[in-house]
Amino acid sequence: MGKIRVLVVDDAVVFRRLVSEELSKDPDLEVVGTAANGRLALQKMTHVNPDLVILDLEMPEMDGLQTLTELRKLYPRLPVLMFSALTERGAAATLDALALGATGYFTKPAGSGSLDASLEVIRTQLIPEIKAVWAAVQAKNTTKPVENAPRTASPSKLGIWPRPAYPEVEVVVIGSSTGGPNALAEVFSHLPADFPVPILLVQHMPPMFTRLLAERLTAEHRLKAQEGVSGAELHPGEVWVAPGNHHMIVVRNGTQTRLLLHQDPPENSCRPAVDVLFRSAAKVFGSGVLAVVLTGMGQDGLRGCEAIREAGGQIIVQDEATSVVWGMPGFVARAGLADRVLPLQRLGDEIVQRVGRRVGRNVR
């Protein structure tokens, strides 16, 4: 297989050169072009024919969102990784980009020492993600996609909660990373306002991004989502998102079950980490845990799923065909830990089926 051909689009000359030089040092990558704005990038596409585009969000003439919109019209399957500022404006724009079809994103370090920090991001995050995304694209091109079952209306949307044929579920825990925000949106579109148990989720994101993610889930779907807060008591139908740079766990305090945040060392190079949340849920809820592992790079969630399986809980994961990167769910599936491996479009209804109706039951 030849080198991965990359087009770098950024209006900052220094940063454009920095990214290009670092990528070019890797024997598997080739920078086939650079552009200072989206308009120039679109003009270069047919000439350089990239396998993947790295796209800045804030640029003159044509910004990242406008460029991404045009790229998706012309090249709907082309992987696009966004570079965004670690600001509230940058976080909001990043979520907009993901909703428009960006494959993933990375944040530009700012302030003193930003050059060294940028090099670290490029070497330890961007380059591995480029390779993982491209490997996923290649795998999908050579693997026959799973045929999805015909879509039917969710029982909960019809006002009918199924009688569960599964062990009683007391909490749903979700882990996701690359491609996760869009996958979460699809899953949450199937969950009703009277969802009968709490939902706890880890999406690999920095601070501020996780708060905005929670706000968007609340605004666009029927459940209330918010960032985790130490000491918060769990109630049915509430969604708690692990804050960026904090692990989130559940603890039992007498008759109450509460959240606890901490900043112990990262696991799987992640904080928050899925494994940390999943292990705590297995310890507190045992067989009452339903774990869901969505698209993401790496294997965060594997050890946590082992703990959930040992405790008698249930595990469902997203399939390879609908995952942006089949890392996290793939590790769980290949380890034989998943009860079911399903297309993204069927996961929400599967959660509803497995939880069943227990409205009004507090988590004690």
Q: What is the pLDDT of residue 85?
A: 83
Tell me the three state secondary structure of residue 170.
coil
Task: For residue 143, report the phi and psi dihedrals to the nearest 5 degrees.
Answer: -115, 135
Closest CA to 291 of 310, 278, 272: 278
Read off the amino acid at residue 101: G
Of the residues 176, 177, 280, 323, only one is catalytic, namely 177
Same domain for 238 and 125, yes or no, is: no
Same domain for 322 and 184, yes or no, is: yes
Is 177 in the active site?
A: yes
Q: What is the pLDDT of residue 1?
A: 62
Same domain for 108 and 207, yes or no, is: no
Residue 216 has pLDDT above 50, yes or no: yes
Q: What is the pLDDT of residue 165?
A: 66
Place of tokens 């901490």: 262
Q: What is the CATH number of the domain that holds 213?
A: 3.40.50.180
Q: How does pLDDT run across 129-176, given as a tens digit for each residue? A: 999 999 999 888 775 544 443 344 444 444 444 555 678 999 999 999
Q: What is the pLDDT of residue 162?
A: 52
Same domain for 138 and 175, yes or no, is: no
Task: For residue 297, report the phi and psi dihedrals to the nearest 5 degrees.
Answer: -85, 150
Closest CA to 239 of 211, 265, 270, 271: 211
Distance CA 276, CA 301 (A): 8
Same domain for 179 and 94, yes or no, is: no
Same domain for 215 and 302, yes or no, is: yes
Tell me the three state secondary structure of residue 319.
coil
Is 298 a domain residue?
yes
Is 116 in the active site?
A: no
Question: Domain tally for the chain?
Answer: 2
Tell me the three state secondary structure of residue 28.
coil
Is 286 a domain residue?
yes
Residue 8 has pLDDT above 80, yes or no: yes
Distance CA 189, CA 27 (A): 42
Is 330 a domain residue?
yes
Of the residues 84, 190, 204, 247, only one is catalytic, namely 204
Is 362 a domain residue?
no
Q: How does pLDDT run across 322-351, given as a tens digit for each residue? A: 999 999 999 999 999 999 999 999 999 999
Q: What is the pLDDT of residue 2?
A: 87
pTM for this predicted structure:
0.90
Q: What is the CATH number of the domain that holds 125?
A: 3.40.50.2300
Same domain for 113 and 182, yes or no, is: no
Same domain for 178 and 295, yes or no, is: yes
Q: What percent of the chain has pLDDT over 70?
A: 90
Q: Are strands 256-262 and 247-253 parallel, antiparallel or unpaired?
A: antiparallel
Domain of 114 in residue numbering reads as 4-142
Same domain for 49 and 100, yes or no, is: yes
pLDDT band at 215 (very low <50, low <70, confident <90, very high): very high
In terms of C-beta density within 10 A (0-12 exposed, 13-18 middle, 19 or more buried), how is residue 264 classed?
A: exposed
Q: Which tokens is 32 given?
A: 């086939």
Same domain for 245 and 289, yes or no, is: yes
Read off the amino acid at residue 213: L
Is 153 a domain residue?
no
Tell which of 89, 121, 142 closes a domain.
142
How many distinct helices (H) and strands (E) make up the chain? 12, 14
Same domain for 187 and 135, yes or no, is: no
Is 149 a domain residue?
no
Is 323 in the active site?
A: no
Query: Any alpha helices (H) in 189-323, and if so which ranges?
Result: 209-220, 274-285, 302-310
Distance CA 200, CA 223 (A): 12
Q: What is the pLDDT of residue 41?
A: 97
Q: Are strands 224-227 and 29-35 parallel, antiparallel or unpaired?
A: unpaired
Tell which of 92, 121, 142 closes a domain.
142
Query: Any alpha helices (H) in 75-146, and if so which ranges?
Result: 88-99, 114-121, 127-142
